């Protein structure tokens, strides 16, 4: 009888060799048997990670809506016959699909990406190492994997990088941060905007390449409550909510920067600064259009360019002035009106009555480029227009008067203390230096400058809040023939909807009236 040979692992090889083979054999067998479980677990983990990422970046209102819809769907499914079983099977199926081995896309960075990461690591060595550190995180020929805890590339370009830094790095000093940010900006690829999030508690820095903000949103009636004004649109991650906007004939959600005015506002007045042609007038025009839905408006055109003349004679527009005499008369009236409202409101409050109706409609004072007029007033020995603006600035909040001032960045110092003290909603537009943005907002810009800055692009800061990127909606002078026709028509469309005569006419047409 022929004796069959024993399997290799049971042959007369050394005992330790056989032990190792047995262990490998058992591990391979277990992996084969448990493969579906491992795949599904990996898929579930990927689903959970995706959900966590979405949850931490989505605006709160969207999270609440999704939570509500999911809970309602689960409730309905639970009532259906076999509903929970079917949901379980679908979940496992999608987890198995997500968790499959993706052999085509090998884990880890490609050779070119590894070279890029190593280059960034080496460049950071002089900035993040201190003499005497026995185990430096950053050292020449060191391992970048210990320092870079997360990274992402898209089409060969770095789009996010999360790095650790030693606890002794002076991350509280703006200059030290700026040095690291400048270096990363250069190494990660110029031409894009980057945001840097410093986590001082955990000694982590996250760099994120930001996509440009959309520039296609034009003037329109925004879905806001009374007292809310949309200054522009920002990143989804830094907005608390989204609002529906019409863009090229379709409606989509966009995250707005909303400025609140009125008696409970902590930033009742606004100051916008920018370079020439950066879009300050456009922002003030956009504010004026929104103001007309609920209030009355005074417009002072200090530049005398006639860019507010389209507002003259519209319902709710009390005056549009550009000459010094007219401006002084208008601002004097505004100061008296503020005092009158203040007295009326205070008397009503003392008598325990609600504020009288003639104080409730907000009054808006839009002042574009006042410093030129101040110079003129001084030369002619007349009252300083900014001095007349002090009463609305000081008492406007209680009296329902909101002031929005626009000025060139170079004229910031000439604005006077009342504007700088009371106008706490701030916007800085155009290609300003970091120092100019800091002077305008009281805080540095939250991103590196973009290579191309479209008109209406900049930063906004409400009070002591965070600095946000902002893109002002395109709101040209409708009589400006150089502006896009669609944008001019959009402005005229908003004016029509805020005209009570047009609104009542269209309502009566809808009701079949003549
Ligand atoms: N958000 C925007 N979207 C599209 N175009 C804009 C936007 N903001 C401004 N523009 C365009 O840029 C040009 C300059 O805008 P604007 O007059 O508002 O700037 P400014 O800062 O007031 O400058 P100026 O000193 O020339 O008055 C205009 O042609 C305007 O239509």
**pLDDT of res. 238:** 87
Which atom number of ligand 1 is nearest to the Cα of residue 477? 31
**pLDDT of res. 34:** 72
CB 237 within 8 Å of CB 57: yes
**Residue located nearest, by CA, to atom 23 of ligand 1:** 277
d(CA 190, CA 450): 9
Query: Which regions of the chain are under pLDDT 50?
Result: 1-11, 103-105, 505, 510, 512-514
Domain ranges of the chain: 67-95, 111-210, 228-499
CB 288 within 8 Å of CB 311: yes
**pLDDT of res. 33:** 66
The DSSP call for residue 356 is P
Burial class (CB in 10 A: 0-12, 13-18, 19+), 285: buried
CATH code for the part of the protein at 228-499 = 3.40.50.300
Neighbours of 320 (CB within 10 A): 23
In angstroms, what is the span from residue 472 Cα to ligand 1's centroid? 10
ipTM: 0.96
Cα angle 67, 72, 77 (rounded to 5 degrees) comes to 125
In angstroms, what is the span from residue 239 Cα to ligand 1's centroid? 24
**pLDDT of res. 468:** 96
**Token pair in block for residue 342:** 């203040």
Which atom number of ligand 1 is nearest to the Cα of residue 476? 31
- Ligand 1 binding pocket includes 476 (Cβ within 6 Å): yes
- Ligand 1 binding pocket includes 474 (Cβ within 6 Å): yes
User: Mutate which of 277, 307, 487 to test ligand 1's pocket (most atoms within 8 Å of Cβ)?
Assistant: 277
pLDDT tens-place string over residues 226-243: 999 999 999 998 898 999
In angstroms, what is the span from residue 209 Cα to ligand 1's centroid? 26
CB 406 within 8 Å of CB 368: yes
What sign results for the dihedral spanned by CA atoms 329, 334, 337, 343?
A: negative
For 241-292, the DSSP string reads --EEEEETTEEEEE-EEEEE-STT-S--SEEEEE-TTSSHHHHHHHHHHHHT
- Ligand 1 binding pocket includes 283 (Cβ within 6 Å): no
Coil vs helix vs strand at 139: coil
Q: What is the pTM of this model?
A: 0.76
pLDDT tens-place string over residues 436-465: 999 999 998 989 988 889 999 999 999 999
In angstroms, what is the span from residue 476 Cα to ligand 1's centroid? 7
Cα 427 to Cα 60, 221, 474, distances in angstroms:
24, 21, 16
427 is in an annotated binding site: no
User: Mutate which of 212, 304, 455, 484 to test ligand 1's pocket (most atoms within 8 Å of Cβ)?
Assistant: 455
Coil vs helix vs strand at 427: strand
Which atom number of ligand 1 is nearest to the Cα of residue 483? 31
**pLDDT of res. 130:** 92
In angstroms, what is the span from residue 412 Cα to ligand 1's centroid? 19
Instruction: Give the number of residues written for the chain.
Output: 514
**pLDDT of res. 193:** 92
- Ligand 1 binding pocket includes 372 (Cβ within 6 Å): no
């Amino acid at each position: 009888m022929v004796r069959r040979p024993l399997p290799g692992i049971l042959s007369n090889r050394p005992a330790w060799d056989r032990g190792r083979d047995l262990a490998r054999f058992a591990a391979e067998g277990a992996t084969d048997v448990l493969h579906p479980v491992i795949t599904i677990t990996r898929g579930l983990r990927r689903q959970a990670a995706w959900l966590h990422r979405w949850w931490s970046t989505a605006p709160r209102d969207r999270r609440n809506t999704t939570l509500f819809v999911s809970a309602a769907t689960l409730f309905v499914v639970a009532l259906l016959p076999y509903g929970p079983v079917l949901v379980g099977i679908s979940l496992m199926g999608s987890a198995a699909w997500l968790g499959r081995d993706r052999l085509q896309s090998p884990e880890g960075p490609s050779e070119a990406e590894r070279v890029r990461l190593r280059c960034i690591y080496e460049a950071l060595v002089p900035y993040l190492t201190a003499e005497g550190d026995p185990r430096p995180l950053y050292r020449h020929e060191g391992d970048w994997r210990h320092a870079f805890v997360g990274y992402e590339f898209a089409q060969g370009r770095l789009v996010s990088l999360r790095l650790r830094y030693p606890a002794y790095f002076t991350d509280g000093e703006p200059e030290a941060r700026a040095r690291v940010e400048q270096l990363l900006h250069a190494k990660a690829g110029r031409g894009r905007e980057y945001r840097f999030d410093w986590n001082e508690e955990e000694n982590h820095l996250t760099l994120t390449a930001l996509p440009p903000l959309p520039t296609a949103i034009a003037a329109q009636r925004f879905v806001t409550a009374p007292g809310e004004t949309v200054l522009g649109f920002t990143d989804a991650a830094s907005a608390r909510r989204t609002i529906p906007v019409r863009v090229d004939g379709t409606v989509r959600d966009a995250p707005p920067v909303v400025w609140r005015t009125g008696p409970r506002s902590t930033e009742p007045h606004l100051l916008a600064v920018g370079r020439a042609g950066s879009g300050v007038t456009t922002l003030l025009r956009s504010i004026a259009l929104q103001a007309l839905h609920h209030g009355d408006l005074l417009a002072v055109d200090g530049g005398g360019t006639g860019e507010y003349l389209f507002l003259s004679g519209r319902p709710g527009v009390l005056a549009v002035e550009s000459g010094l005499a007219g401006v002084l008369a208008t601002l004097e009236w505004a100061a008296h009106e503020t005092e009158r409202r203040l007295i009326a409101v205070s008397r009503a409050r003392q008598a325990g009555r609600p504020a009288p109706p003639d104080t409730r409609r907000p009054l808006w004072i839009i002042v574009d480029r006042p410093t030129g007029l101040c110079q003129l007033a001084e030369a002619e020995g007349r009252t300083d227009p900014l001095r007349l603006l002090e009463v609305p600035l000081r008492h406007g909040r209680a009296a329902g008067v909101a002031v929005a001032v626009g000025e060139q960045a170079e004229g910031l110092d000439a604005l006077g203390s009342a504007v700088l003290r009371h106008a706490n909603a701030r916007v800085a537009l155009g290609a300003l230096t970091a120092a100019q943005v800091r002077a305008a907002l009281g805080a540095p810009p939250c991103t590196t400058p973009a290579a191309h800055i479209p008109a209406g692009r900049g930063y906004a800061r409400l009070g002591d809040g965070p600095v946000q990127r902002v893109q002002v909606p395109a709101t040209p002078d409708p009589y400006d023939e150089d502006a896009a026709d669609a944008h001019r028509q959009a402005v005229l469309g908003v004016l029509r909807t805020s005209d009570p005569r047009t609104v009542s006419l269209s309502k009566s047409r809808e009701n079949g009236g003549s």
